A and B are shown apart, each in its own frame.
Chain A
Amino acid sequence: MTEPALRTEALQKLFGGLAAVNDVSLECHVGRLHAVIGPNGAGKTTLINLLSGDLAPSGGRVELLGKEVTGLAAHRISQLGVGRSYQRTNIFMRFTAFENCRLAAQSRLPSSMRFLRPAVRYAEVNDAAARALALAGLRGRAGVVAAELSHGERRQLEVAMTLATQPKVLLLDEPLAGMGAEESARMVELLRTLVAGHAMLLVEHDMDAVFALADTLTVMVNGNVLASGTPDEIRANDEVQKAYLGDADD
């Protein structure tokens, strides 16, 4: 197999005496989707925070494209090619979809943050924003103010903003949360197309989506990895059934 885009080794995060993430080792490869599932409070979002640099690990290492990035600040890790979305929508409601994306794209080109030149004049930034919107399926909604977008479209916009930073690795925290049936189906299709060019780590409770998309699954419980494997292996795992999926099939 090719070298992983993102790799962790015995990653750990302590909050006081509580190991929110403990001894987690995993790999993400370009073209593959790695899903992390587990009960509420298992440490999934903390894991994403460690990978994005929003939190510094207490132990272990994180490697990005073969280089160690353990403990680097979030903006550095972002510039090195890791994009993340959040569980709760994090967008500027009074900006248009395009302006939201342009702002994200500007982070790739720090000189574009200069005060004296309007951001609209940076062709490179504008192109990146437009590409990201198109990829996320929002081309026709570029000029719409975020507050006027539907919930599903706002989640798409979050993905677009993540894409505007031109990442190699995508960390997505519950992108399907709060979506209706059709919005979910659209997002699943979007993620499927994005996997091709990215290494994707997905935290999600929608099991239909997870099992439809994932190449590899890691199941976390109480900060630890309970099981790791292909969708079929995970579905057949008794411990996972007991801890997370439950017995009934509905």
Chain B
Amino acid sequence: MTELLVEARGLHTYYGSHHILHGVGFCVRRGEAIGLMGRNGMGKTTLLKTILGLVQPKDGRVTVNGRDTTHAPPHRIARMGLAYVPEGRGIFANLSVKENLVMAARAGQWTLERVLETFPRLAERLGHGGAQLSGGEQQMLTIGRALLTNPQLLILDEATEGLAPKIAREIWAIVRRVRESGIATVIVDKNFKAVNAVTDRNVILVKGQVVFEGAAQELREREEVRVRYLGV
């Protein structure tokens, strides 16, 4: 099945007078894993936020499962199956780990039991407050919370930022498992090798425009593109 899950066309997004996205086209097919790449400040997070309805584009169109969501509020877009793990995590500090996990849960293949099996560290801390967790545990909590909504698409924005190498590896192993379970993913991360290894397709943004789009394998082989646009 290669049906389109998310399709964005000709997106122009501004922050005040700053023109951030300059006509970006971007799509996600069912079950597909995409690495969204580019240096700092090139518009990656803005593109994700525009798709999620957190920022309104001035021009262009976004559809989810074929339905126009361009000006839909974020909660409606979330209910259509898009889950977001934002940069900086967004844990509710005054809720317990369990409350954080189940607050937006929906029935599906990812149950609380399965999430706790995947993240045994969270199982040990169910009664703790969200703020008492270490950085790595908070990151696991945000991913677990997103999985419990049983999304069709999981968006990870800098999910390994600030994490110890061992924890970052655990996160990558989990991303692989999520991918195998058939959920589509869009991943933004500084670690090119890790993203490239777990994704099917890679997209590179430069100054709010798509400058490369191709198979992960192709980007592995095209050093000149990597050096020019990513510096790796």
Flag if B166 contacts A245 (CB, 8 Å).
yes
Given contacts A40-B136, A40-B162, A181-B192, A248 and B40 within 8 Å (CB-CB)? no
Closest chain-B Cβ to A123's Cβ sits at a distance in Å of 36
Q: Would you call the interface of chain A mostly helix, strand, loop, or mixed? A: loop
**Closest residue of chain B to A176, judged by CB?**
B190
Residue from the list B41, B166, B167 in contact with A150, Cβ < 8 A = B41
Flag if B161 contacts A178 (CB, 8 Å).
yes
What is the total of A-B residue contacts with beta carbons within 8 Å? Answer: 66
* Chain B hits for A250, CB < 8 A: 169, 193-194
Does chain B have a CB within 8 A of A26?
no
Q: State the CA gap A179–B39 with chains docked (Å).
A: 9
Does chain B have a CB within 8 A of A177?
yes
Interface residues on B, range: 20 to 34
* Chain B hits for A179, CB < 8 A: 40, 190
Flag if B164 contacts A38 (CB, 8 Å).
yes
Flag if A246 contacts B166 (CB, 8 Å).
yes
* A window 36-60: CB within 8 A of B: 37-41
Scoring B136, B165, B167 by chain A CB atoms within 10 A of each residue's CB, the highest score goes to: B165
Residue from the list A38, A39, A248 in contact with B169, Cβ < 8 A = A248
Closest chain-A Cβ to B76's Cβ sits at a distance in Å of 31
Q: Mark A165-182, 1 if CB is under 8 A from B, else 0.
A: 000000000100111111
Flag if A180 contacts B164 (CB, 8 Å).
no
Flag if A151 contacts B230 (CB, 8 Å).
no
* Chain B hits for A183, CB < 8 A: 40
Q: State the CA gap A176–B20 with chains docked (Å).
A: 25
Inter-chain pairs besides A150-B40, A181-B232, 18 sampled, C-beta below 8 Å: A40-B162, A41-B136, A87-B162, A152-B40, A177-B162, A178-B161, A178-B190, A179-B40, A179-B190, A180-B40, A180-B230, A181-B190, A181-B231, A205-B163, A205-B165, A243-B166, A245-B165, A245-B166
Interface positions of A (Cβ within 8 A of B): 37-41, 87, 150-152, 174, 177-183, 185, 205, 207, 243-246, 248, 250
A-B contact pairs, 10 of them (CB 8 A): A37-B164, A39-B167, A40-B167, A151-B40, A178-B40, A179-B40, A181-B231, A244-B166, A245-B165, A246-B169
